[in-house]
Amino acid sequence: LRETRAGRAQLGLAGALGVAMAVTGVAQAALLGHVIADAAVHHVALAGLAGSLAVLAGVMALRALLAGGFEVSGRVGATRVMSELRGRLAEQLLVRSPVPRESERTGELAAAAVQGVDALEAYFAGYLPQLMLAAAVPVAILVWVVPLDLAAGVVFVVTIPLLIGFMILIGKGAQARARSRWQA
């Protein structure tokens, strides 16, 4: 996380968009449930569902736009972080290196640096924004469900620690891979 300085604003935007996606995901599920209940249980005709279907379509379109913004902001943030890392690495290897450059193979060093930093893209563009999204979705669901059904809310509260435990396990695996790539 210390290395995200250059792309922190974009990664923060990805986090905010992830929260908005979580909220629109809950709204989409609730609206879809409402439409299905009206159609199947209350036998409302299609004409009577037009307003609800229009709102559902709008929420789905908004969610798609948010998902696109989430992906783009994560990628832009990762690109900025990786660019800054490449610059620091090049400066360290080619300018500040205590070993004379004549004795090094600068082409090999540069290739290794580019490939090594490229290997971190999945972490910065994928894992970090998804981690923020994974934290926002359960909260959005709890905020929606608890007032509607306290028993379901209690089930969620009991199972969320399991979700967090699995996230930690996945994160540790990704962190170990990223650390080994970083060191390579």
CA atoms of 134 and 104, how far apart (whole Å): 44
pLDDT digits (tens, 9 = 90+) for 88-119: 877 777 777 665 555 556 667 667 777 778 88
Work out the mean pLDDT of the chain and round it to a whole number: 86
The single residue listed with the structure tokens 């994160």 is 171
| Spatial CA neighbour of 163 closest among 146, 142, 138 | 138
Q: How far is CA 110 from CA 75, 92, 116, 156, in A?
A: 23, 11, 10, 49
pLDDT at 38 > cutoff 90? yes
Note if the pTM is more than 0.75: no
pLDDT at 4 > cutoff 60? yes
pLDDT digits (tens, 9 = 90+) for 62-77: 999 999 999 999 999 9
